[in-house]
Structure 1
């Protein structure tokens, strides 16, 4: 039998795996439009784009909410959990970003229901669920710990975005690994800063991301859904 720490790590790896059937590979979060406009053209500009998104979007919005929701579930505070879920979905600035979040969250919710996870079974299927809300449900049920779960969420996002950059710029496989190597050390500090943010400082203000996402909705040819 694995010990508690090993079991938690394995569950986080399960949740962060590209084999998780939620379709994360299908979304570029505006990167496809940014590449079409030559805002992102190579390894260095891709690293700059993704670094800003990780720190100023996920690090100030998704990850702080994930940490709060994990705590709410531990305290059996369903109202607080649901309020943060609604607040997060309301923070999505475009239709594409909202659908990306709610569709992946819904896919993970269906998976958790099939695995008989109590919090998922109690969640009404008709109510939209943000992706990190679903991660919080699964992680708390498996007692992963909020910090390692947050790192897993960031890694999963970064891996999907690197895959998108590899196809779209395009990057070679070696450059893709160089991109990951450059950005991975920044992930733990993002989680640490997210844990220190007070409620009234949560929120992401990235006009370029919102613009790219909105324009991507009408992009003539595209490979990705956002």
Structure 2
């Protein structure tokens, strides 16, 4: 349990990344009538997990963590770039870079690790949230499977 404590802290609603401010359109889906009961909400969440931005985030997270673990800076830079390219709307880009940059700043201040510094060396610009969390997770030698599960749970819980 203690080994997973950083994940619980980093991905909690109180960690200063502003996750509470983003809903991936959940409010709009309710307001427009697309979501009106438990079944339509479940279907919407399933699509987000199976085909939407959470799926992309988890893939990017895994690839970034593996690049950190392998010491492959070129792959890490490519993943950081791809993560921003996949944020295909102004709102989605704002969300991922606001959270990613805030996460990097908080980690540098409270949970420093070489992997975060390496990420910023190979990709000095804005950082997408899943790439930032992956770098910290790998940099602190946290298990990838547990890190992915925690990230996915936090993503859905913050909607």
What is the TM-score of this pair, normalised by structure 1? Answer: 0.65
Equivalent of 2:138 in 108, 121, 140: 140
Equivalent of 2:117 in 115, 121, 146: 121
More relative contact order in 1 or in 2 (CA 8 Å, sep 6+)?
1
Secondary structure of the corresponding residue to residue 158 of structure 2: helix
RMSD of the TM alignment (CA)?
1.7
Alpha-carbon distance in 2 for matches of 1:157, 1:138: 17
CA positional deviation for 1:101? 0.5
How many pairs were matched up? Answer: 156
Contact 1:15-1:152 within 8 A present in 2 as well: no
Q: Which ranges of 4 or more aligned residues in structure 1 deviate by more than 3 Å?
A: none
Secondary structure of the corresponding residue to residue 13 of structure 2: coil
Specify every segment of 5 or more residues in structure 1 that has no aligned partner in the other structure, as ranges: 1-5, 162-226
Aligned to 1:66: 61
Deviation string, structure 1 residues 128-169 (Cα, Å, up to 9, x no partner): 1010111111111221111110000000011111xxxxxxxx
Whichever of the two has the greater Rg, that structure is 1
Contact 1:70-1:136 within 8 A present in 2 as well: yes
Secondary structure of the corresponding residue to residue 52 of structure 2: helix
Alpha-carbon distance in 1 for matches of 2:72, 2:2: 25
